[in-house]
Amino acid sequence: MTARAQVWALVRLRWTLVRSPWIRMGLLTAAALVPYLGFIMLIARNSVEPAALIAAVNAAPAAFLGFGVLAVVAPLTAGGTELVPADQLVAYPIRPATHFLSSLVLAPVNLVWIVQLLVLTAETGFLTLDTRYTGQGAITSIMLVLACTFVGQALAWVVAGLRRSRSGRIGLRSTMVLVALGALVVVRTGHSDDVVDHSFGPAVARAVTAGGRGDLADWIPTTVVLALVAMLGVLVGVHACRWALRRPADRGADRTSREVPRRHTPVSAYQALVATDRASVWRAPALRRGALVLAIMPGVAAAGVGLPWKSLVFLPGLVAAGGGLLFGFNAFCLDASGAVWLASLPHSPALLARAKTRVTAEAVLLGAALAAVLGSLRAVGAPTATQLMAILASTLGCSLLVVALCLSSATRKPYRADLNGPRDSVAPPGALVLTSARLVLPTALLGGLLEGAADAPEWWVPLAITFPVAVLSAVWISTSLRRYDDPFRRSRIVSVVSAG
């Protein structure tokens, strides 16, 4: 059986495992909604104001570069790139090429990737406005999407192979530190525009424009290069995946015993449970990398772009949604096989849910606050009191809303996740997509309202908008905590996260 046939068989198997007709309908609707939104964006480009159109065209190179960075970074930090967990396929002759192609199939199963794709669709429409050959410009954008996605997945498999040795891990950590320091220097010295000017972004934007007006001399070279890069990414990715899967891991050579400093004794059972949950988040490689990226990248990116203060109002909500998607919507999976043991300890069952709520709130609020603070370092102009209050209200209100959504999801629909491997995820791919939509849409709506309220003359208007959301979120959290007190529901959660 060829790799493509194996991928198709795994896709059908994964689809068969989705037994709920409502979930199937939701997945099909989400898949159909993406091209529909892209079509709407292309139609609505004629109604854009001239000033906004000029700003969008000028931002096109940065948008193309941003998608490339996202396509490379996302596979390095996110887990769950297999259609079926690898440990369940050990007994079957699955080709390495199948693993790589399955990671490509799941690459679009990411709401941030989809949003960036819609942004590129809008930019393509703006660059080809009032031209005869919009399709040619779109081909260049499609080639860019394919090239960046394939190269990103290939690099992810190279990194997966390097992580299997101690020297490789040290080299990767050193590289990550150097890249972070380089990004910080670029942001602090104000050379972000120079980075964009010397990247592939301007060349792709010129090629899209040339394709729209039918200038083949400027369109063909860039488009062909992107197509060749995409094909090279597939070839390199297959070989990198084969190399990574065949490399022996040195984890078994580590010392089985080592000195561990004695920790302070928690003063209460609640503090002990909170400490256990924090350690559970940090021990999981996928969650650890995701938390670091969530805490650093959004704020650094916002600081590099130099957003206006009004636009910063929207940022904390998106970062808060990412923090909830990290593990919060399935927070009880942190206990894994130890859930039965933790549930049998002589403490109040409510303490366990309260500990999960606190750790989720810490991750969500810390990420949103850091993004707002880092983004304000190079914000354009001087902020007004209303804008500062809107940023604060967005950070607190969106964080509280995400925690409420996460706790409700964790108590209603838990999933089994061991989180031992660097590519493990907290839920199946379909659940991740639906949950990302549930988290992003409400926070985006609240962020949009607060962004509009940032121009209000009274400083208390953002607080007035956020207050009812905060109250409803607090009531929602309280309801979810009471739901966990139900012994039947609690036993189901424990059984699912511990045994599947």
Residues 6+ apart with CB under 8 A from 452: none
Mean pLDDT of 79-94: 66
Average pLDDT of the chain? 83
Give residue 201's pLDDT.
86
Domain ranges across the chain = 1-248, 272-500
CA distance 226 to 208: 12
3-state class (DSSP) for residue 494: helix
Question: Cβ(303)–Cβ(378) under 8 Å?
Answer: yes
Least confident of 226-240, 246-260, 288-302: 246-260
pLDDT, tens only, 8-41: 888 888 788 777 787 778 778 877 877 887 888 7
Total length of the chain: 500
Tell me the CA distances in angstroms from 139 to 200, 220, 388, one per residue in order: 16, 10, 42
Mean pLDDT of 54-77: 81
3-state class (DSSP) for residue 190: coil
pLDDT, tens only, 323-368: 888 888 899 988 888 888 888 888 888 888 999 999 999 999 998 8
Confidence class of residue 290 from pLDDT cuts 50, 70 and 90? Answer: confident
Mean pLDDT of 91-101: 81
- Which of the listed ranges 96-105, 204-213, 377-386 does the model predict with the highest average pLDDT? 204-213
pLDDT, tens only, 387-419: 999 999 999 999 999 999 999 999 988 888 877
Question: Residue 299: is its pLDDT beyond 80?
Answer: no
Structure tokens at 437: 């939509």
Question: Residue 448: is its pLDDT beyond 80?
Answer: yes
Q: What is the pTM of this model?
A: 0.72
